[in-house]
Amino acid sequence: MDKLYLDHVSYVYSAGTPFEQKALDDVTLAIRGGCITGIIGHTGSGKSTMMQLLNGLAKPSSGKVLLDGYDINCDVNDVLEEWKKLPEYSGMSPRSAKKAIAAKIKKTRAKLCFRVGLVMQYPEYQLFEETVSRDIAFGPRNMGLAEEEIRQRVLEAAAFTDIGEDLLEKSPFDLSGGQKRRVALAGVIAMRPEVLVLDEPAAGLDPLGRTFIFEGIRNYQRKTGSTVLIVSHSMEDMARYCDDVIVMSGARVIRQGSREEVFAHVDELAETGLDIPQITHLMQLLRARGLPLPENIYTVDEAVEALRALLGLGAK
Amino acid sequence: MILSDIYIHAENLCFSYREGNGKEENPALRDFSVEICEGEYVAVLGHNGSGKSTFAKLLNLILTPTSGHLTVGGVEVTREDLSDEEILNLRKNVGMVFQNPDNQLVATVVEQDVAFGPENLGLERAELRRRVDDALERVGMTQYAKHEPHRLSGGQKQRVAIAGVIAMMPKCIIFDESTAMLDPSGRREVLDTIRMLNRDYGMTVLNITHYMNEAAEADRVLVINDGRLLMDGTPDEIFARREELQAVGLEVPQCTELVHRLRGLGIALKGDGISTPDACADLILHAYEKLSK
């Protein structure tokens, strides 16, 4: 089963006013579990709206969002007939079964924000606690975990995001921009979400800061096997860190697949106003000028290998 | 270079932010000296906290230097007895576009937002109209003139913010990571706008950025580290110093990295700081043709 499934989802802002705008238009989409999926698309293509639908922060105007096959916005009347047959509710009167099912749905929904962790743009503006460790602990504490468990999780999240122990008792406001960003990320990771969704996690950071953030995210994904979604404009970062890629344009998904499958359609990406990695552009130029190079080169490492073979051969 | 060509002249500039208790923090700029000529297109690189933005904020007196000398457009900014008129002129001549467009828009209609600055100059109505229309056209936002800014996308908002600065007709525009929140096409538009303002209107441009590919488009690159000017040269000269850049938390464009690594494998390639795909393609083809002979 797909970890996340969007079933004919539409989302309309300001419906019924002159400003009505479709942010998502009949989007059907499957997201594989246990890998990193990149979502790319120009500004206003619907990426951020989609993110907010994934943990129930926003409800689709129509269609369903399924997490492990469960409709996260389901209503008691949608599931009543089906659930009544479950052993859990079988002995109950119809009225108390309905009540129990409604309570179950409510509880599931409340837990959703722990299962699907959202890291918004510029999350460091949301830091507020007196110390770094207390800020990271805010999520786990709200989950009602025991103090010892919270402490463990803070240390674990700090390790994933490369925050040294010396920083834990400092005020988050005394840190550099890149460090603050990592603390904000750690605060979400500390909830150990099954799905981690990040909106432009590296925007505004310098190259070293970018690398730190992306390595932290990959580290978390690889060690926990969780599902990660990254919204970004940087095709170079996407090519480097993502397994799958989804391309959005004009409120629709125009392409989805593995990194290789999607980047193979570079012309289409360029048409929708997106970039391709500089190295891929270079390979295109070289192929156009007659060099026999493979088409699936998206990182510097891959280009070095391909050119070494090509230029090394000529030397013999 | 004759003296009158110099637009920005900084000599041993120092600046420290003050903490809440009045004590000075570690200096954000130390003995910073640089000359920038009229009509130059300069990219400024440096990791977060290196002092890039501090330098920019000194140029139009958002901040005043702790010590040192700074002259902008022939006016010594660091003089004690600067008149109000001189300060106003400085601010008018050096426009700034910041990273987050939401913090820069003030009006409820796009064209009113663009008009906000020039309106305060007391211009004739016809001139105001002309400037606003012209500015909106240059950033490709004419069709949104009557829209509400808060309903625009991030990229569109940023273009409105740029129009607001252009409408002031400054001599120099500083872009402080203005493309950081934009998508690739939005970034392309802003960069093309920057290039056009520099080339067609002779505007002096400083582009503070974390994107090495953007820096490669400038005529000159400054690298600031730890409050000091670390490097100053053409993009090719700067990117040739790959190790030094990496040591201060920066990187080189992918093409530069590729050429460097191929050379490390013993493949003879010239051009250390090659940073654009076109130049890089020429280089590799040349090597390939030589080998096939």
Question: What are B40-52's pLDDT values in tens digits?
Answer: 999 999 988 889 9
Name the residue among A4, A15, A66, A1 with its Cα closest to residue A39. A4
Residue B140's contacts (CB-CB under 8 Å, 6 or more residues apart) are: B159, B189
Work out the pLDDT band at B230, boundaries 50, 70, 90: very high
Q: How many C-alpha atoms does A89 have within 13 Å on its Cβ side?
A: 20
What is the C-alpha to C-alpha distance for residues B189 and A27, in angstroms, rounded to an integer?
A: 29
Tell me the C-alpha distance between A82 and A154, whole Å.
Answer: 40
Q: Do A282 and B155 touch (CB under 8 A)?
A: no
Q: Residue A91 above 90 pLDDT?
A: no
Which three-class secondary structure state does DSSP give residue A28?
Answer: strand
Do A282 and B254 make contact, defined as CB atoms within 8 angstroms? yes
Q: Where are the domains of chain A?
A: 4-74+111-275, 277-316
Q: Quote the pLDDT of residue A270.
A: 78
**If you average pLDDT over residues A14-33, what whole number do you get?**
90
Is the CB of residue B135 less than 8 Å from the CB of residue B154?
A: no
**How many residues does this entry show for chain B?**
293
pLDDT 10s digits, B261-286: 998 888 888 777 788 899 999 999 98
Q: Which residues of B touch A300 (CB under 8 A)?
A: 254, 257-258, 261
Mean pLDDT of chain A, nearest integer: 89
Q: Which of A106-110, A182-186, A306-310 has the highest mean pLDDT?
A: A182-186
ipTM score assigned to the predicted complex: 0.78
Nearest to B258 among A208, A273, A303 (CB): A303
Q: Verify whether the Cβ–Cβ distance B258 to A42 is below 8 Å.
A: no
| pLDDT for residue A77 is more than 90 | no
Which of A151-160, A269-278, A292-301 comes out lowest in average pLDDT? A269-278
Residues 22-41 of A with CB under 8 A from B: 41
- The architecture in CATH of the region B3-252 reads 3-Layer(aba) Sandwich (3.40)
Q: Is the pLDDT of residue A51 over 50?
A: yes
User: Can you give the residue ranges of every domain in chain B?
Assistant: 3-252, 253-293
A16 touches chain B (CB under 8 A): no
- E strand or H helix at B80: none
Does the CB of A222 have a partner CB in chain B at under 8 Å? no
* Widest distance between CA atoms in chain A: 84
pLDDT reported for residue B42: 97
Token pair belonging to A70: 């469960």
CB A262 within 8 A of CB A245: yes
Q: Are A298 and A280 in contact (CB under 8 A)?
A: yes
Strand-strand pairing, A195-199 and A227-231: parallel
Is A114 exposed, middle or buried (CB count within 10 Å of its CB: 0-12, 13-18, 19+)? middle
Distance CA B263, CA B259 (A): 6
**pLDDT surpassing 70 at residue B4:** no
| CATH number, span A4-74+111-275 | 3.40.50.300
Q: Is B160 on the interface with A (CB under 8 A)?
A: no
pLDDT in tens, A186-224: 999 999 999 999 999 998 888 888 898 999 999 999 999
Closest among A297, A300, A311 to B256, alpha carbons compared: A300
Interface of B with A in 184-243 (CB under 8 A): 184-187, 210, 212-213
